[in-house]
Amino acid sequence: MGFQEAETHLVFPKTASVEQLRCIRESIAAERDQRLSGGPSVSPQTPSPNSILSQPATAPIPSLPVASHTPAAPQTLPPASQPAPVESSMAFFRTLQSNFQHVMVYENPALQQKALSCIPVLQLQTAAQEKLQQAKEADPGCKMNAEDLLLLELLRWFKGEFFSWVNCLPCSRCGGQTQSSGGLSPSTEDLRWGASRVENHFCGQCQLINRFPRFNNPEKLLETRRGRCGEWANCFTLCCRALGLEARYIWDSTDHVWTEVFSTSQNRWLHCDPCENVCDKPLLYEIGWGKKLSYIIAFSKDEVVDITWRYSCKHEDVLHRRTQVQEGWLRQTINGLSSVRQQSLTPERRKELLERLLVELVEFISPKTPKPGDLGGRTSGSLAWRVARGETGSQTSKPGLVFTPSENEKLQKRFHLQYNVTKDQYCRVSNNEEEIKGWEKGAWKKESVFRKVENDWQMVYIACIEGSSSGRITWKFDCSLAGLKIKTVSVKASSETFHSGKVTWRIHSNEETTEFLGDNTLHSFQNVSGATDLVLEAILSGGEGDTSWQHAQLFRQSLKEVEESSLEIIITMVDA
C-alpha cells in the first residue's frame, strides 16, 4: 500500500500529501468492508493506494468520500446487519458527542497541575530510567524511550498505591460489610461533580445507609481515589495527560472503559487498562474475559476513532453484532466530529494525525491471531519492550542490594536495619540512620510482589501481584569481605493471613534453614554463629478466589502508624 516498514511500525514516505493520505484512508476503509462482507477485495471505483502514493503531490485527486456530517449511503454488510432505526443512531451520536466533549476536561492546565501534585513524578521517572537502562542492557539496539517506561511505572503506581476498587463500600460507621440496595437521589454537590447516579450501600449490622456517588469529574476522583472501571479510566487518563503523555479515553459499548497512550518510540497506540495494570494486551477482553465485543471507540482532544478491530480476532462475529448504527453512518460521523475539532490545528498536526490513523487502519484490516503471549508471558515485540514490562517468562528480578558492613558498622561490629511500610523506607540505624527509600531498594531478590496502599481502609502492606499464585522477597547480608563473621542474629517481622493464605519466614545461613513466625516479636537465632553471610526470606502463597493475592500480607499496618517499624534485623559480629 506504499507504507515503509520500520522496526516495530509502519511509516509513510515524506513526499505523501494530506490529500493522498485522505484517499488512502477511504481506500483502506473500503477494503476492510469488502473483506468483511466477502466481496471483491478492492472496489472498482476506488483507486489503488499504490497508484495514489506514486502520483505527484500536485496531481488531481479522484473524488472520494471525505469527512462530512452527511450520512453516506449504507455499505454492503453481512445479512445479519439490518438498517438501524433513527432513534438508535441519535442515541449513539449523543454518546459519541458526550465522550468527545468530556475528554477536553483533561486539557485544563489547572486540573493537570492538581493531578501532578498527587503523582510522585520524580519517583516514577527515576524508576523508569532504571528500567530503561535494564532494557538497553538486554537489547543494545533498543529504540524505546523514557516515556514508554514512565507509562508502565504510572500504571503500577496507580493500581498499587493510588486508586481502589469498589464493589461495596465498608460501612462508614461500624466498618462492616455493606450490600448494594438500589439507588438514591443525587444531592446538589453530587451533581456538581457529575454524579447523576448514587448507589445505596446498606449496612445490615448497624442499619446505616452509605452513599456511593458515581462521580464523573476527574478532579473529584483525585480526592476520592476509588470507584469502578469508569472512575479508574477517567482519573488515569487525566494523570497521563498531566505527565505530558498523549492519551485517549476508550469506550466499550459492552460496559468497560480504559485508556490508550501513544508511544512516540513505537509509533503506535498502546492499550492500557489501569484496573488490571495491563499494557499492550488488546485481546485480553475478547479472549481472556470472553466478552462479545461490538463497538470500541477512542476519544482524544483531537479526534474520534473506531478502534474495535484492534481488540478482536473475530471480525466477522463482531460485525454481525454491530447493528446499533450503519457502518457508513458511523464512519462518516466520527470523521465529521474529528474534522470539526481539527479545524484549529496546524496543517502539520493534521497530517501527523492522519498518518497515524492510516497506520491504525492497516492494522485493523486483518484480524489478529491470538498467541499465548497475548494473555500470559509475551513472546512478540522487541526484547527491550518485553524486558521493560517483565514479560520474558519470569517475574523474578535481578539480584539487588547485598548489605555489607560500613566502616562505622565494622567498628561497632553491629548491623541494625529497620523498614517502615507506611513510609516505604528503610533506616540503617547502625550507619548514622541512613535512609533508603522504597522497599525494593533494600531487597536482594523479589518475585511477583508489590506494595499495596488501601486508601479506603487506610491500610498498607506487601502482597502478591494480582494473578500470581505465590511471591517472595529476600534480604541478604554478607560480612566476609570485612574480615568478620556473624555472632548473633535477631529478627522481628510481621505478617497476616486470611482464609487459606500462607506466609513462611525463613533464615538461611551455614547451609541451614530455620523457620520462624511473623508475629511482630523479636526472634533470636544462635545457630547462625560463625557464618559470614545470611539470607532472610518471606514466601507468600495460598488464598482463595479472585482476591487470593490479598490473603497473604507482609507488614500490614495503618497509614497512620508512621513511626512503627514493620521489619527489624539486628546482627552482631566478631573478627573472623
Catalytic residue IDs? 229, 256, 273
Consecutive H or E run containing 329? helix 327-341
Say if residues 278 and 271 touch (Cβ distance below 8 Å): yes
Q: Is 424 left (phi over 0), alpha (psi -120 to 50) or beta?
A: left
Dmax of the chain from CA atoms?
Answer: 89
β-pairing verdict for 425-428 and 434-437: antiparallel
Instruction: State the Cα–Cα distance between residues 219 and 271, nearest whole angstrom.
Output: 23
**527 is written with which cell numbers?**
545457630
Half-sphere exposure of residue 141: CA atoms within 13 angstroms, side-chain side: 4
Residue 177, SS3 per DSSP: strand
β-pairing verdict for 402-403 and 470-478: parallel
Instruction: State the Cα–Cα distance between residues 68 and 65, nearest whole angstrom.
Output: 8
Instruction: State the Cα–Cα distance between residues 563 and 554, nearest whole angstrom.
Output: 17
> How far is residue 293 from each of residues 284, 299, 369, 371, 468, measured CA to CA in Å?
12, 18, 16, 19, 27
> How does DSSP classify residue 281?
-
343, burial (CB in 10 Å: exposed 0-12, middle 13-18, buried 19+): exposed
Half-sphere exposure of residue 283: CA atoms within 13 angstroms, side-chain side: 16
- The DSSP line for 83-148 is PPPHHHHHHHHHHHHHHHHHGGGGG-HHHHHHHHHHS-HHHHHHHHHHHHHHHHHH-TT----HHH
Say if residues 405 and 479 touch (Cβ distance below 8 Å): yes
